[in-house]
Amino acid sequence: MATQLFPNSELIDTSRYECIDGQLLERPVPNIRHSDLQGNLAELLRPLARALNMQCGPELSVDRTEGRSDWMTPDFAVSMPGGYRANANGHALPPVFLVIEVLSPGQSLFNMRQKADRYLAWGAQTVWLIDPDSSTALVLSADQPGQLVSDGVLRAGELTVSLADVLR
């Protein structure tokens, strides 16, 4: 369990909460389908990331900066080449190469798009928003408008995976 000292001196379980603009937000509880997709992402991306000297994994909190208390926890993340830089809480520091969010029941693409824009502002190169209910993914990057993928490949630089394999 990752913890962080919040400004009012209480310890916060950062695995259950995110902090955006100083406001604590409880994270949705994932379901079995959500967990399966995280496993598929690990299986597909881990060998590709290792070949590029990157690290990856599920549920890694990303802090905005070393000195701020804002953090978010994507469903899956891939580091820049060379690995993650971490702060005293063990959270990754920007930039992160790829951030992946799997929509949970009750989450909207609009709300997740706002979160994706925040990741991009924090230096993420690419963000994938995967909607298992519609079998689609929105691929976003700082230099290109969003691309909706319903059949085909998800790309982030040299990392490419089949959407069908992620959703299987």
What was the pLDDT predicted at 23?
87
Distance CA 109, CA 83 (A): 29
Backbone angles phi, psi at 143, to 5 degrees: -105, 5
CA gyration radius, the chain: 15
Backbone angles phi, psi at 26, to 5 degrees: -70, 135
Q: What stretch of H or E contains 37?
A: helix 32-51
pLDDT over 50 (residue 9): no
More confidently predicted of 36 and 107: 36
Q: What percent of the chain has pLDDT over 90?
A: 57
**Whole-number average pLDDT of the chain:** 88
pLDDT over 90 (residue 90): no
Distance CA 41, CA 124 (A): 18
Residue found under tokens 């069908």? 164
pLDDT over 80 (residue 68): no
Lookup: tokens for 72 = 């978010």
pTM across the whole model: 0.89
Residue 121's contacts (CB-CB under 8 Å, 6 or more residues apart) are none
Pairing of strands 126-131, 98-102: parallel
Lookup: tokens for 63 = 């802090």
Residue-range domain boundaries for the chain: 30-167
Distance CA 58, CA 55 (A): 11
Band (pLDDT 50/70/90 cuts) for residue 102 is: very high
CB 131 within 8 A of CB 103: yes
Lookup: tokens for 84 = 């993650």
Residue 51's contacts (CB-CB under 8 Å, 6 or more residues apart) are none
Nearest Cα neighbor of 91 from 115, 111, 69 is: 69
Return the CATH superfamily for domain 30-167: tt1808, chain A (3.90.1570.10)
74-96: average pLDDT:
91
Q: What stretch of H or E contains 13?
A: strand 11-13
Q: What percent of the chain has pLDDT over 70?
A: 89
